Chains A and B, each alone.
Chain A
Amino acid sequence: MASGSIDPMHQFEVTTLLPIQLGNYDISFTNSALFMSLSVLLVTIFLVGSTRGRALVPGRWQSMAEMSYEMVANLLRDNVGSAGRQYFPFVFTLFMFILFGNVIGLVPGTFTFTSHIVVTFAMAIIIFLAVTVIGFVRHGAGFLRLFFPHGAPLWTAVILIPIELVSYLSRPISLSVRLFANMVVGHVLLKVIAGFVIMLGVFGFIPLGVLVGITALEFLVAALQAYVFTILTCIYLHDAIHLH
């Protein structure tokens, strides 16, 4: 980090808060773990606290909790159908976890755990493996039909199967990189423009205005990326359950 300038990558640094060693593995409680825990805590407070009254006519918070429930429930029903009901807790947890991770990360000085490829990739690969297992459990070897569309001429298999295979195998990569890249780019952009505000001195109000706009945009991106991650998970589930 050059002296006097702002390092836009500094915000992504994982710092150890409480060193923990388990055998040969370093599982220290870091700022990343702290914000994951915070996300869990806030999601729980939001959903459990707001519904404590079990009001027949919901207040604002309960309304929001109900809206998030119904939003994810509709998402799952529209994309997977009734067979997806049993995966609802997982999909809902996924959505809320990522959404809160993204949004908490927008608070200045915080850490965004979804801006780490290892986290997003871990989530993506778990989903990928789970979906593949679900597909094989439900359809056995018939799940392989996913790689060759029904009714296509047999000779096209030479072209179609590799394409389908590659697109299937690249799912965890595209899923994880999309979320990771969006988060990183947004935060870097905010940091760089914030640097301009300081550098320009009096005229810093111009990038400051831009910064306000981009912050609003980043909130949109935070919600949208959580939504996209969830909807893609639903689509993968649909493929595993219904095979196209």
Chain B
Amino acid sequence: MPQFEQIDTFVGQIFWLIVTFGVLYFLMAKVALPRLASILEERENRVSGDLEKAERLKQEAEEVLTDYQKAIADARASAVAALKESADEIAATSAKRQAAFDAQLSEKVQIAEDKINAARSEAMGHIKNVAKDVAAAATSKLLDTDVTDAKLSKAVDEALGEQN
């Protein structure tokens, strides 16, 4: 077996082992491993940075959504308020008009009633005179007595008062 027979090559093999291993160690420690480590670290940073950014964008989007929902709610509330206000206004206007109309109506009613009352009292006055004349004529024809005007008036008033 050459491994145990070529003893004279042992020193050379160990020498070259140390040399080549040393060179490889130097290349790995100074070039390859720092580079690999930096690549991996950079990637990790990049990935975590991207994740952070995504998280931030998500939050921003949520904020925008909240703002939007708030705006919608505000708009709805102001629309309801405006609606209520105009409804109130309309109600107030119509109530005012109603009141004005009512007042006008009652005024007209009053005037009409006054007219009716006037006409009525006038009619009553006529009735009274007629009644007085009738009563005077009747008493003078039937009883052949003249009743005083004052008495007649009183009697007619009483009779009319009973009717009323």
Whether a CB of chain B sits under 8 angstroms from the CB of A182 is no
Q: Once bound together, how far apart are the Cα atoms of A58 and B4, in whole Å?
A: 46
Nearest-neighbor residue (CB-CB) of B29 within chain A: A89
Q: Once bound together, how far apart are the Cα atoms of A30 and B13, in whole Å?
A: 8
Whether a CB of chain A sits under 8 angstroms from the CB of B3 is yes
Residues of B close to A56: CB separation below 8 A: 42-43, 46
Q: Once bound together, how far apart are the Cα atoms of A89 and B15, in whole Å?
A: 21
Q: What is the interface size of chain B, counting residues whose CB is below 8 A from a CB of the partner?
A: 36
* Mask: chain A, 119-136; 1 = CB below 8 Å from B; 0 = not: 100110000000000000
Nearest-neighbor residue (CB-CB) of A25 within chain B: B11
Whether a CB of chain B sits under 8 angstroms from the CB of A88 is yes
Stretch in contact with the other chain, from B18-26, B51-59, B61-69, B100-108: B18-26
Nearest-neighbor residue (CB-CB) of A115 within chain B: B3
Are the C-beta atoms of A118 and B10 separated by less than 8 Å? yes
Whether a CB of chain A sits under 8 angstroms from the CB of B33 is yes
Residues of B close to A119: CB separation below 8 A: 13-14, 17
**Chain A nearest Cβ from B83, distance in angstroms:** 58
Whether a CB of chain B sits under 8 angstroms from the CB of A175 is no
Are the C-beta atoms of B39 and A51 separated by less than 8 Å? yes
Whether a CB of chain A sits under 8 angstroms from the CB of B73 is no
Are the C-beta atoms of B11 and A26 separated by less than 8 Å? yes
* Mask: chain B, 22-54; 1 = CB below 8 Å from A; 0 = not: 011101110111011111101100100000000
Known contacts A26-B8, A47-B36, A69-B40: A96-B13 contact under CB 8 Å: no
Whether a CB of chain B sits under 8 angstroms from the CB of A190 is no
Whether a CB of chain A sits under 8 angstroms from the CB of B161 is no
Q: What is the interface size of chain A, counting residues whose CB is below 8 A from a CB of the partner?
A: 49
Which residue of B3, B15, B39 contacts A66 across the interface (Cβ within 8 Å)? B39
Interface residues of A in 11-34 (CB under 8 A from B): 12-14, 20, 22, 25-30, 32-33
Which residue of A51, A93, A122 contacts B25 across the interface (Cβ within 8 Å)? A93
Are the C-beta atoms of B24 and A44 separated by less than 8 Å? yes
Residues of A close to B9: CB separation below 8 A: 14, 26, 28, 30, 32, 118
Nearest-neighbor residue (CB-CB) of A68 within chain B: B36
**Chain B nearest Cβ from A154, distance in angstroms:** 43
Are the C-beta atoms of A36 and B39 separated by less than 8 Å? no
Nearest-neighbor residue (CB-CB) of A19 within chain B: B12
Which residue of A13, A29, A117 contacts B16 across the interface (Cβ within 8 Å)? A29
Known contacts A48-B31, A97-B21: A14-B36 contact under CB 8 Å: no
Could you list some 26 contacts between A and B, CB below 8 A? A13-B2, A25-B12, A27-B12, A32-B13, A33-B13, A37-B16, A40-B21, A40-B23, A43-B27, A47-B32, A47-B36, A48-B31, A51-B36, A54-B38, A54-B42, A65-B32, A70-B40, A89-B28, A89-B33, A96-B24, A96-B28, A97-B20, A115-B3, A118-B10, A119-B14, A119-B17
Residues on A close to B: CB < 8 A?
9, 12-14, 20, 22, 25-30, 32-33, 36-37, 39-40, 43-44, 47-48, 51, 54-56, 58, 62, 65-66, 69-70, 88-90, 92-93, 96-97, 113, 115-119, 122-123, 180, 184
Residues on B close to A: CB < 8 A?
1-4, 6, 8-18, 20-21, 23-25, 27-29, 31-33, 35-40, 42-43, 46
